Structure 1
Amino acid sequence: MSDEVSSFWLMVFYCLLIFAAGSVFGFIFTIDGQVGFLAVLGALASIATVGAAIVAVIALRGWKSQFNFQKKYDSVIHLRTFLYSTAESRAFLTALRDHLASYLRSSDTDILSDPDNYPFEFEEKWLSHFSDINRAWDTMNVFLTDEEFREFKFAPDHIAVAVNNAKDKMIEVTFSETKNSILHLHEATNLGVNEISQAYKGLELQTREFLKVISS
Structure 2
Amino acid sequence: MSNPIYLALDVPRLDAAEALARKVKSHVGGLKLGLEFFCAHGHHGVHEIAKIGLPIFLDLKLHDIPNTVAAAMQAIHVLEPAIVTIHASGGRAMMEDAKAAAGEHTKVVAVTMLTSLDESDLAATGVGGSAHDQVLRLADLAHSAGLDGIVCSGQEVGAVHRQWKDGFFVVPGLRPAGGVLGDQKRAVTPREARDAGASVLVIGRPISRAEDPVAAARAIEATL
TM-score (norm 2): 0.21
More strand by share: 2
- Give the number of the structure with larger relative contact order, counting CA–CA contacts within 8 Å between residues 6 or more apart: 1
More helix by share: 1
TM-score (norm 1): 0.22
